Structure 1
Amino acid sequence: VAAAKEIMRTAAAVTTAVRAVPELRLLGEPALSVICFAARDPARLNIFNVADALTARGWSLSICQNPGCIHLCVTHVHTADGVAAKFAEDLAWAVRDVIDAPKGKYKDGMGAIYGLAATIPDRSMVAGLAVDYLDALYTA
């Protein structure tokens, strides 16, 4: 029970951190430990690049589409002292870095893959492209 309370307390802190970044919006009101968020203006902020920036800082987030968003599943590991504050700091930094980045800084990574997949009008092609990408990635 204590671990669950710590996780919920940390999830609330992460939710507050997301709300504190004006360029982001929560998708839904987190009832448990998964906090999902997206860019308020996807034309100005590529949320997939934010995920890449956070990954570079050691965070493990999940990327979702339709709408493009990322989520953090808060676990007991995140309840350690200072972790929620570090996420808040890194999240604010990542958003600023993506907005201010020179063209091409985020041309690689999962942001590029998910961004490309989101622009393909024929959704039936996405699975085949994903398989080809992973095949090339793991045979290189």
Structure 2
Amino acid sequence: VEYAVASHRWPKVAAIDATNSSFHGAEDELASVRLAAQKAGEALEIRRLAVPVGGAIFHHQDVWHGSGANRSSERPRRALGVHLLSRDVTFRRDPRPDYIYGRYVLSEGSGEVSEQFFPILWTTSGYVSPILRRAKKRPVEVDAPAAAC
């Protein structure tokens, strides 16, 4: 995983930041972050972290982050990404979200974030998305011994 160090503290300038850029699949994967650093008047420092097997990392949503292609022919990359969002978040309309989040836009021009894809885990009122209430009632069964997981 690669991070642009302290990029979550960069001033928001123009329409270029970690939350509204569409850099996935770009020919030059660092072009957007280089431009953002330049526009913010900040030096760009990229730090690469090796995540050990079974490891976890957490970061602020506004930190520029990513990972290049897996160049190993022997070790597949396996990762699970979990994003927690504020309940009042909406999708941007322009530019439209890239391919990762764009698939969750319900209809053209809509900014609605559906509980179907992003269930509500907690609210001060106690509301939780129905799908999570149903899942909570079902026991989890694991076929493999714990050591194999």
TM-score w.r.t. length of structure 2: 0.27
Greater Rg over alpha carbons, structure: 2
Question: By percentage of residues, which structure has more strand?
Answer: 1
TM-score, normalising length: structure 1: 0.28
